[in-house]
Structures are given as C-alpha cells and as structure tokens.
Amino acid sequence: MAAGYDRGQKGRGAYAVEAEGLSFAYGSLAVLRGVSFGIRRGKVTTLLGANACGKTTLLRLLCRDLLPASGRVLLDGGDIRHIRRRELARRAAIVHQKNSAPDDLTVKRLAAYGRLPHQSLFRGRTAEDERKIEWAMERAGVLDLAETPIGTLSGGQRQRAFIAMALAQDTDILFLDEPTTFLDVRYQIEILRLIRELNEAHGITVVMVLHDINQAAMYSDEVLGLLDGGLLVSGPPSEAISAESIDRLYGIRLDVREDRESGRKWVLPV
Amino acid sequence: MAGRRLLTGLGLCLILAAMTFCLSLFAMKSGSISVSWGELADGLFRAYDANVAAIYDLRFPRILVALLAGASLACSGLLLQAALRNPLADPGIIGISGGAAFTAALIAGFAPMLFFMIPVFAFAGGLLSFLLIYSLAWKGGLDPVRIILVGVAVSAVFAGLTSAMSGMSNASGVSLSVSGLSQRSWDDVRLLAVYAAVGLAAALLLSSACNLLALEDQAVRGLGYNVDALRFLISCAAVLLASSATAIVGVIGFLALLAPHAARRLIGSDHRVLTPFCMLLGGFTLLLADTFGRLVAAPLEIPAYVTMSVAGGPFFIFVLRRGGGRFGGRI
C-alpha cells in the first residue's frame, strides 16, 4: 500500500520523524491501520486526505499528543515515548487547529509561553529567551502587535501569534494542523509563505495538514496521501499528485494539469 | 509595557488591601459595645479596659475569620474555574462544600475531641466529592455542563445527608450546625489560619499554572507539561481552601463564584495579580457582608451567608450583564 519508505536502505539521519506501523482507534473505530513512513529532515511534508481519514490523529501521534495502539514513532531515530516531556517540547513544536487564550493576553506573553520548555523554576527568563521571543514575533510578523491583546486580533493575526509561540520554542521540527483553516485566501498564502520561509531560512522540518491540493503542491517538498487509515501515496507533489490519486483520496475526478516550466501540478476544482 | 500592566494590577491590589484594612478598623469599632478610637487604642496597647477586652475576644476573631474564610472561598472558586476551564465552577455548586460540611458535621457530632482535625476531615470529604464529580463527569474530556450537572447531584446528596444527620442528632441533643461567623473564638482563627495559609500560598505558587490552563490542553501539553497533573494540583489547593473555610464557617454561597468574576472584570485574567486580588476581594466582601448584617438590624444579626445571597445574586447578574461575553478566560 505505502510507497517509498524502507528503513533498511536509507541511512539514519535522513529522517527527522519516522512512523513504524502506527495503528490507532477511537473505541472500536479504527482510524489508522499500520501506517509507516519517514519525514525527511529539513523538508516541508504535507498530509493530504479526505475528512476523517486520520490526518489529524496521525499528526497528534507524531508529536505524542496521542499514543498509538501499536507501532511507534521515532524522533531523530529514538523512540518518542522515551523522550521526556520538556525535552520533547524543546525538539518539536505544534500549532493546533483549535486555539484559545484569554482575550486580554498580549501577543508577547503568548509568544513567551513558547520559552517555558527552556526555563526552569529556578532559572527565569534570560536575555536569550527575550531574544528568541523577539525573533519569533518578528518571523511570524506580529512584532508590531507585541502589546496587543489577543482578543482584538483578526483571524490571520491570531494564527500568526500562535505560530510565534511555537517558533519561540526554537525547535527543529514544526507540526501544523490545518494552519490555513478559517482564514481568507490572503492570510492563507501569507501563512504558507511564512512556513516555507522558515523552512528555507532556518532548516526547520515542517509537517502539516492541508486541505487545499494546490497549496500542498505549491508549498511542500513531499506529500503523504492518507486513505481509510492507510498510506495511499507518498513522494514529491509532482509524482504523488495525479488525477488517479486524487480520485482515490477524495473520491472525485478532477482535472490535474502540469505547469510545463516548473513541472508543478495543479488541479482545476471543477 | 507588559510590566506596566502588572504594576497597575499590583496598585489595585494595594488599594483593595487598604480598603480592607479600613473596613476591618470600622468593624472593630462598630457594634453593641461602643468605644471611641482613643479608648480602643488605649485598651489595646496601654491599659486593660473591660470593653476593649470584650471586643478583642469577640470582634477580632470574627473579623479575622471573615477575612480568612472570604479569601479562601474566593480563591477556591478562582482555582476551580481555572482548573476545570469552567466559568460556573464553584465549590458550593459542584458539591465540594457539601462534602466538606458533611464530614465536618460528622466529626463535630460523633468525635468532638478531634476538633483540631476537623479541617483535615473536611478536606477529605471535599476531595472525595471532587473526585466523585471528576470521575463521573469524565468522558474522554471534561464537558462544562456535565460537570455542573453531576456536581449539583453530588451537592444535593451531601446536603440531604447533612440534614438527615442533624435531624437525628437534634434528638440526642448534639448540635451539628456550623453557625456562620457569630461566636467565633481565637481558636477558630488559629485553626483556619494554618490551613488557609497553606492553601493561599499554594494558590499564589500555582498562578502561572492557572494562566497556562487558559490555553487548550493540547497546547499546554505541547509546551512540555503534564496537563492532568497541573489540573489535579490546582484542584487540590481549591478543595483544601473551600473545605477548611466550610469546616469553620459553614457553607457560604455565591462568594466563590462572584469574587473571581468581579476580580477578572476589574483586573484582567493574569493570575499573577488576579489571584492576590481575588483573595483580598473575597476577604473584603465577606467582612462587609458580615459587618453589614451585624449592624443593619442590631441587636438582631443577619448571618453573612444570607447577606451574601440576597446582595450577591443581583450584583452577580449586574456584573455579568455589564461585562459582555468573557467567561473564565475563554474566548
């Protein structure tokens, strides 16, 4: 079923995150059935699939927000279950789809929460922390909103404020669950460009869930297509995205075109 | 600039502390025994005065118990609202006070020699009903409405048990009723102070944790915290505060719900200043209610819980209507 992943052949280190035979069920409802793949270090990988195909569950398993019924997740080659909570928070950050915070919390205080995994009871905020908080807000484009209460932000600004919190964690891996949902097209593109930029400028490995096939094709190095709790396709978008794979993933026949110069795939949703 | 916000908060705390101090002075002086300020000061610091000695033995403990119990109850409500992410969480409504009052009455009635241990038993009772509510309401997550519904049921059971027991013991001549704030002694103050000190200190230490729990559980977990452990710690502090206050002054409704909401409107949702402010507001409010009840229809006394309910209900509605839609740190 799955293509392209074989641990034996590739040297350790090429993958930042690996899934080995991941299964998960909510009660008697099986969501994932033995999924295996590797997330390439320093690349942007996007999970695609229809609603309720297990994308979000898979993402939560990858960052240990959930534990699998069987199988395991490796982070930099080590079993994620053996990593301590705070250590994990220093190595991987996640921006969830649903976020809440008190209305009067300022953007800067939210971003500062991202430094908590690096602080301890006896070592408060340092100059290094301050620098990282500034950097995170600057990268996420909310530096001029630092003292603005979250409650007064627009949807796009809010999302970027939560991304700033994740960036302040200063991790090598960033997970994002549908970072563009609820945003209008301008903010969607803004967020995706930001993610691409972070990946290119800082080598951050990005794993995200997206709904828009064109955005996935445009902003990812690799896509993983999930169908009924299994991996249907994986690989660069130019190979993995085709009329056939879209049909099987989403159950709809779409016109898939290829840009002759860049080789980039795009679909006409008609 | 974030520092300025914090300073404003601390300034408001100081103002409220000063108001509480003035109210305490007023409560000391007012009542059926009337003395002048000069007599009061002389009697306290210079020479013996029978009137002042009576005030020292009767009013001082009452004032201190009101302050401590008020602070404990208000803080307990604040902690529960943070831990359960529920604007309606109140130790009275969800049955913690009921459980505490029941075990306190049990000990007072059947093992009065354990007087000094009553808050411990009340804590056990409060914790028991909290765990009962938590486990009954837990279904893969905490649904705010289910917590309240289960809590109301648990609360009703304990209230019924307490009534049944006092009915039985009235026949045998033992009084189980915890009688509000009147007839408080220095023993009560000492007893309450020990448990309140532990609970209030814990609440202050946990203020950053309370702030974090205003985020989604997943986000807090993503920052490397054990959310369940944080929630349990905060709840334990809340149960300790509510139980020890209930053991000494009985069930006082509304305060634990009203004070945190009013405090949040006045000072914002940052628990680093909200927690101390809420404690002060709780102490101030209960003392105000008690002093008012003592003076308004003298020589008759209106119990503080009656004043709290009658004045607190409308005031609570006023606060909620005025403030728009912000509840307990949610959006």
Per-residue pLDDT of A84-125, as tens digits, reads 999 999 999 999 988 889 988 999 999 999 999 998 766 778
pLDDT, tens digit (0-9, with 9 covering 90-100), for B149-166: 888 898 889 888 888 877
3-class secondary-structure state, position A74 = strand
Give residue A1's pLDDT band: very low, low, confident or very high (50, 70, 90): very low
Phi, psi (deg, nearest 5) at residue B111: -145, 60
Below-70 pLDDT ranges, chain B: 1-3, 140-142, 144, 169-179, 319-320, 322-331
Give the model's pLDDT for residue B140.
67
Separation between Cα atoms, residue B89 and residue B104, nearest integer Å: 22
**Among partner residues A103, A104, A113, which is closest to B223 by beta-carbon distance?**
A113
CB pairs A-B closer than 8 Å? 77
| Cα B203 from Cα B77, distance rounded (Å) | 11
CB A161 within 8 A of CB A145: yes
Asked if the C-beta of B218 comes within 8 angstroms of chain A's C-beta atoms, the answer is: yes
Mean pLDDT of A27-33: 86
CA distance A163 to A140: 7
| Cα–Cα distance, B67 to B20 (Å, whole number) | 9
Band (pLDDT 50/70/90 cuts) for residue A263 is: confident
Average pLDDT, chain A: 87
Burial readout B174-200 (b: 16 or more C-beta within 10 A, e: otherwise)? eebebebbeebeeebbebbeebbeebb
Give the amino acid at A204.
I
pLDDT score at B323: 55
Choose among B222, B270, B331: nearest Cβ to A94.
B222
pLDDT score for A7: 45
Q: What is the DSSP string of B293-305?
A: HHHTTTTS---HH
How many of the other CB atoms lie within 10 Å of CB of A134?
15
H-run or E-run covering A18: strand A15-26
Q: Is B208 helix (H, G, I), strand (E, B) or coil?
A: helix
**What are the chain A neighbours of B330 within 8 Å (beta carbons)?**
100, 102
Write down the ipTM of this complex.
0.85
Contacts of B19 (CB under 8 A, 6+ apart): B284
All residues of chain A having their beta carbon less than 8 Å from the beta carbon of residue B261 are none
The alpha carbon of B184 is separated from its chain's Cα centroid by a whole number of angstroms, namely 17
> Residue A36: helix, strand or coil by DSSP?
strand
Q: Are B106 and B165 in contact (CB under 8 A)?
A: yes
With beta carbons less than 8 A apart as the criterion, state whether A64 and A88 touch.
yes
Q: Tell me the backbone φ, ψ of residue A259, rounded to 5 degrees.
A: -75, 125
Q: Per residue in B125-146, pLDDT tens? A: 999 998 888 888 877 666 767 8
Residues of chain B contacting A94 with CB distance shorter than 8 Å: 218, 222
Name residue, tokens 């699998």: A68
Give the pLDDT confidence of B264-306 residue by residue, as tens digits.
888 888 999 999 999 999 999 999 999 998 888 777 888 888 8
pTM of the model: 0.86
| Greatest alpha-carbon span in chain B | 65
Determine contact: A61 vs chain B, CB below 8 A.
no
Min Cα separation A66/chain B (Å): 10
pLDDT of residue A256: 86
User: What b-and-e string marks burial along B291-314, b requiring 16 or more CB atoms within 10 Å of the CB?
Assistant: bebbeeeeeebbbbbebbeebbee
Three-state secondary structure call for residue A26: strand
Do the chains contact at A65 and B269, CB–CB below 8 Å? no
At residue B2, the pLDDT reads 54
CATH, domain range A15-97+172-268: 3.40.50.300
Among partner residues B2, B216, B223, which is closest to A117 by beta-carbon distance? Answer: B223
Is A155 an interface residue toward B (CB < 8 Å)? no
A-contacting residues of B 193-212, CB under 8 Å? Answer: 212
3-state secondary structure of A212: coil
In whole angstroms, what is the distance from residue A29 CA to residue A144 CA?
A: 46
Enumerate the H helices of A73-204 as residue ranges: 85-91, 107-113, 127-139, 155-168, 185-202
Contact B216 A94 (CB under 8 A): no
Determine the pLDDT at residue B162.
83
Residues of chain A found within 8 Å of residue B1, distances taken between Cβ atoms: 147
What length is written for chain B?
Answer: 331
Tokens 């009203």 correspond to what residue? Answer: B258
Residue A209: strand pairing partners: A47, A177
- CA gap B15, B276 in Å, rounded: 12
Distance from C-alpha of B222 to C-alpha of B73, rounded to nearest angstrom: 32
pLDDT of residue A166: 94
B171 touches chain A (CB under 8 A): no
Q: B136 with B150: CB under 8 angstroms?
A: yes
Q: Does domain B47-322 have CATH number 1.10.10.10?
A: no
Chain B contact for A144, CB < 8 A?
Answer: no
What are A121-174's pLDDT values in tens digits?
A: 667 788 889 999 999 999 888 999 999 999 999 888 899 999 999 999 999 999
Give the residue from A67, A99, A125 with the most B CB atoms within 10 Å of its CB, the best one to mutate: A99
Residues contacting residue A102 through CB under 8 Å, at least 6 positions apart: A150, A151, B214, B268, B269, B326, B329, B330, B331
Q: Tokens 């001082």, residue? A: B60
The CB density around residue A3, as the number of other CB atoms within 10 Å, is: 14
The predicted pLDDT at position B322 comes to 64
DSSP B5: H
List CB contacts of B87: < 8 A, sequence separation 6 or more.
B81, B144, B261, B327, B328, B330
**Alpha-carbon gap, residue B132 to B95, rounded angstroms:** 10
Phi and psi torsions of A36, nearest 5°: -130, 135
DSSP string, A223-234: EEEEETTEEEEE
Residues of A in contact with B5 (CB under 8 A): 106
